[in-house]
Chain A
Amino acid sequence: MTPTALAPPVRATEPVRRRSKLTDPAVGVWLAAAVVIVLGWLIVTIDGGSFFARANLTTILSNCVALGLVAVGQSAVILTGSLDLSVAYLISLGTLVAAETMQDGSVITGILAVLALSVAVGLANGLIVTGLKVNAFIATLGTAFILRGYIEDNYTGPAGQVPASFRHLGYDRIGPIPVSIFLLAAVAAAAWFLTKRTRLGHHMYATGGDEHAARLSGVRTRRTVIIAHIICSLCVGAAALFLASRLGAGAPWAGTEARYDLESIAAVVLGGTALAGGRGGVAGTLGGVLILAVLDSVFNQLSVDPFFKNVVRGVVIIAAVALYARRGRRSA
């Protein structure tokens, strides 16, 4: 199986025969991803490394998982015209809750606990955005601060411990494919199904596209936004579970050090979803995530200076989005 194996969503674009297939960002993103992979392979090979070595593939894929899960959730909210900056701290808290409940409870209770936490936070975000009409940017930034305070006040370091059985999620692999990819695939598929195939999904696109019009058409826009936030948090919860199984314990900075908040947004936009909402989708997002993961792996192979990495990442993100803008203009 090649990396594209983690992309059932791509098929999304096929059954729906649309004139604008070419302008569908997802396609472009996956093409871009393919290009990046080929280039990466060339560069690494020239450098004398082996890009398609098992270890490397595994690394790339497992690096996709955490960011992928978060980004899928993030695309749900961004599609709906909102935004979530609280994901990073939710991840941290998630890993802690997971590790602690699993330590003196069963794995299932741990999972349930994390998902419950996620629902709560998502609900809070949604209510603040729709109820108090606080701009999503500020609202979720606020929740982020609140979570952060809670974490720093209650945790002074890694806490809890996940049972070995749960670790399989983080470490096992089938051939080069880490099983955690299937978690991502499952969640992504669910999210894709939800956004593309259900009424809720249609309403999400509508709300993101034109909140006023959607409301006039009888869409319960507030409810939609709230649900979108809950979906997002649930995906983040999944990411937290994965990280917990990978780290073996809960870490107060699991989410923040990796800057999952901004990274996920970058991935989503990289995946061709419009920040304004109403356009794009999960399929593209996964492509964006893959691109970032491949870049990282290439940097690793060439052991690029970590500071220089950031420069390249920044350039790539801007350049990619600039390209979409051009495509959009031509096709429009």
Chain B
Amino acid sequence: MTTTTAPTPAPYKRLTAALGTGIPVYALLVVLLVALAVTDPSFYELDRFLAFVKRAAPLVILAAGQYLVIVSGEFDLSVGAIVTAGVVVAAELYGSFADAHWLVISLALVLGGAIVGLANGLITTALRVPSFITTLGMMLILEGAVFYWTGGSPKGVLPEDFRALGRNSAFGWLPWAVLVCLAVGAFAVWLMRRDFGRTLIATGDSERTAALSGVRVHRVRVLAFVLSGVAAALAAILVGGFSGVSAQAGRGLEFEAITAVVLGGVVLGGGRGSVIAAMAGAFSLQALFTLLNLQGVSGALESTVQGVIVIAAVGLGAANWSRIRRRSHSSGGTPS
């Protein structure tokens, strides 16, 4: 077949290659951070800023996990439920084994997250259920099951040692959450540079090509879901640590995570976008929330502002690349 695409000049391409589709999100992030500086000069004092990062950590981790799933061409709507379940289960476990070591409980949560992810992955790949539905169902199941088990509210409290990770700081100044966040981020970036990452994106881009190139597409996708589940579990540990027992710790986080990833210029439908941009998206979102708090925007109006900005940002991103995107029939399902 002859080339249907117009050739594009080199410099333009290098730029996109370097920044991926994430340019708008970096711009947005900068704007927001500047705005924060203007609103509240002390925002950049070390502890304040670290506190901000610490607050953003769970969402960033979720975004990293969600990115893996989205870039492979799927969805994970169950992460919010996993976070809620994680926090409640942890409390419940402490309710029964008050003196369990925090590491044990944490590992239990991570394992649980992995198992949920595994279920998501297997149902989606082996049973051919669209991941949107799989994870939507999983969301209902998790929320239902956890509360059915705990009779609505957890019976235990989260002890300090468990909460340290989400709440306290190393060497008195560096929040553990920030460290975890950095670790996860680094791991995600490393992962995407490895064979797994590359094959994952290829799978999201063209499943048949990947399969015919020897990629075990099912295994790769399942692994993505598992990692997303693990990320959610980590987020649960941080959230639980940060704010203690709550029956709605993860409410709405799935949408926040997806929004963050898309803000990062990652195309729903897979095959496009960088994990760094996705995490930048998460930071932007958190920065936005903080800005709205500091600006003292009426509590009720916050969501309106949020909605407008998200649409605008993504719209901008889309506009930048619309030419290209129209040519490669994006599987994102958005008519252009």
Contacts and interface: CB of A to CB of B under 8 A. Distances in A.
Q: Is the interface of B mostly helix, strand, loop or mixed?
A: helix
Contact of A133 (B148, B304, B318): B318
A144 B307 contact: yes
Given A135-B334, A305-B148, A317-B140, A146 B304 contact: yes
Interface stretch (A15-23, A159-167, A269-277): A269-277
A325 B143 CA distance: 26
B123 A132 contact: no
A141 B303 contact: no
Contacts of A222: 335
Contacts of A80: 335
Contacts of A129: 334-335
Interface in B114-168: 123, 127-130, 132-134, 136-141, 143-145, 147-148, 152
Interface in B292-323: 298-308, 310-311, 314-315, 318-319, 322
A146 B308 contact: yes
Most interface-central of B128, B305, B307, B325 (chain A CB within 10 A): B307
Contacts of A146: 303-304, 307-308
Given A133-B325, A225-B335, A128 B311 contact: yes
A285 interface: no
Contact of A152 (B255, B303, B306, B315): B303
B315 A132 contact: yes
A93 interface: no
A47 interface: no
Interface in A259-299: 262, 265-266, 269, 275-277
A46 to B, nearest CB: 23
B322 to A, nearest CB: 5
Given A130-B335, A134-B315, A211-B336, A311 B140 contact: yes
B270 to A, nearest CB: 12
Interface in B85-135: 123, 127-130, 132-134
B48 interface: no
A149 B334 contact: no
Contacts of B138: 314, 318
How many chain A residues sit at the interface, stated as a range, is: 35 or more
A5 B300 CA distance: 44
Given A132-B311, A133-B318, A142-B307, A329 B128 contact: yes
B276 interface: no
Given A132-B315, A317-B137, A81 B262 contact: no
Interface string B321-336: 0100100010011111
B308 A309 contact: no
B228 to A, nearest CB: 17
B57 interface: no
A321 B132 CA distance: 11
A145 interface: yes
Interface in A106-155: 128-130, 132-139, 141-146, 148-150, 152-153
A82 interface: yes
B268 interface: yes
Given A142-B311, A146-B304, A269-B133, 13 more contacts: A133-B318, A138-B262, A139-B311, A145-B310, A152-B300, A265-B136, A310-B140, A311-B145, A311-B148, A314-B144, A318-B133, A321-B130, A322-B127
6 contacts: A139-B311, A210-B329, A225-B335, A307-B147, A307-B148, A314-B136
Closest 4 interchain pairs by CB?
A149-B304, A145-B307, A310-B144, A132-B315
